[in-house]
Amino acid sequence: MSVPRYWRGIKYHYRLIGSECLSCGKRYYPPRKVCPICHSRNLRDVKLPERGKVLTFTVIRVPPRGYEKYAPYVIAIVELIDGTRVLAQLTDIEPEEVNIGIEVEAVLRKICENGEEGIIQYGIKFRPVFT
């Protein structure tokens, strides 16, 4: 992603900040300006919890451009403890060790590097809870 695009998303990508509808309470990640449930335009930033469970997962073996260095890697839909779902990579775990239902926690890791010259892009991944 280009630098301005990446920079706009830093707060949301580094700190797992989503949106909460002040009218109906539903939470979303990624953030949004209008609630699809109640159509309210009153949404504010909310720091989402950093723990959750794996709802489903897959192993990406044919990666998109820029992610070749990390393949094969696991991506999963994680259901956070407040019910919000996010899609993220799992890390610090082998594909064979992943099961539906395992408990995971958010960590900040490298998402991709734009070659040897470009900026390094960081983002949230989830790893198995270890303590």
For 37-54, the DSSP string reads TT--S-EEEEEPPSEEEE
- Residue 23 CB, nearest approach to other proteins (Å): 18
Query: Is 23 or 121 the residue whose CB approaches other proteins more closely?
Result: 121
Query: Is 29 or 104 the residue whose CB approaches other proteins more closely?
Result: 29
- Residue 51 CB, nearest approach to other proteins (Å): 13
Burial 43-77 (b: 16+ CB within 10 A, else e): beebebeeebbbeebeeeeeeeeeeeebeebbebb
* Window 46 to 105, contacts with other proteins (CB under 8 A): 55-70, 73, 75-77, 85-89, 91-92, 95, 100
- Residue 1 CB, nearest approach to other proteins (Å): 7
Residue pair 20/83 in contact (Cβ under 8 Å)? The answer is no
| 35 touches other proteins (CB under 8 A) | no
Q: Which residue has the tokens 């309470």?
A: 25
Query: Is 23 or 105 the residue whose CB approaches other proteins more closely?
Result: 105
Backbone angles phi, psi at 130, to 5 degrees: -115, -10
The residues that touch other proteins, with contacts defined as CB under 8 A, are 1, 5, 9-15, 28-30, 36, 55-70, 73, 75-77, 85-89, 91-92, 95, 100, 107-112, 120-123, 125, 130-131
